[in-house]
Amino acid sequence: MTDEELLDAARDVREKAYCPYSGFHVGAAIVDENDQVHVGCNVENAAYPQGSCAEAGAIAAMIAAGGTRIVTIAVAGGGENKTRACTPCGGCRQRIHEFADENTRIIVKDDDEDWHTFTMDDLLPSSFHL
Ligand code: THU
């Protein structure tokens, strides 16, 4: 699985986002330690706090499929037709951290359609863990 293929998977699943309240479409694609790909999109709800993020969906799919480690996660978010910078929200940084290590890469699309790669420590320094 190349980065380009993973980024395409994030972009593709972004089109499935259910986001009538925010209009902000997000797709996430994970490659796990078995080289398997798992995708998720945001799914909103009329009771707003019940909505879930794309990263949460992709993580749930990974765990359900038997994966345990995030090697790389790509996130693409933005309006219906155009992506913009969308680094994972605070809650999702902690969710990703649960299944990440020092080699995990988080790839995010920016306003100019370029991609930037972060480590877990870039996004969640001095993180909480048990
Ligand atoms: N969202 C995600 O799916 N992932 C993030 O990391 C940031 C935010 C979703 C949640 C909500 O459906 C919409 O984007 C606007 O916040």
pLDDT of the residue at 119 = 97
Task: Walk me through the domains of the chain, giving residue ranges and CATH numbers.
Answer: 3-123 (3.40.140.10)
- What is the residue-averaged pLDDT of the chain? 94
Pick the atom of ligand 1 nearest to 54's CA. Answer: 3
Atom of ligand 1 nearest to the CA of 22: 15
Question: Which residues are the active-site residues?
Answer: 55
The alpha carbon of 39 and the centre of ligand 1 are apart by a number of angstroms equal to 15
Q: Which atom of ligand 1 is nearest to the CA of 44?
A: 12
pLDDT digits (tens, 9 = 90+) for 8-40: 999 999 999 999 999 999 999 999 999 999 999
Q: Is 7 exposed, middle or buried, given 0-12, 13-18 or 19+ CB atoms closer than 10 A? A: buried
Average pLDDT over residues 31-55: 98
User: Phi/psi of residue 89, each to 5°?
Assistant: -65, 170
Atom 10 in ligand 1: residue holding the nearest Cα: 53
Which tokens is 13 given?
Answer: 């699943």
Instruction: Calculate mean pLDDT across residues 53-68.
Output: 98
pLDDT at 63: 98
* Ligand 1: lining residues by beta carbon, under 6 Å: 19, 22, 24, 26, 42, 44, 51, 53-55, 88-89, 92
Instruction: Examine the pLDDT at 110 and tell me if it is beyond 80.
Output: no
Q: Report which DSSP code applies to 14.
A: H
Across 62-67, average pLDDT: 98
**If you take atom 14 of ligand 1, which residue's CA is the nearest one?**
24
Cβ atoms of residues 71 and 58 within 8 Å: no
DSSP letters spanning 83-130 = EE--PPPHHHHHHHHHT--TT-EEEEE-TTS-EEEEEHHHHSTT----
Distance (Å, whole) CA 46 – CA 70: 31
Ligand 1 binding pocket mutation candidate from 16, 22, 25, 26 (most atoms within 8 A of CB): 26
Is 111 a residue whose pLDDT tops 80? Answer: no
- pLDDT band at residue 113 using 50, 70 and 90 as cut-offs: confident
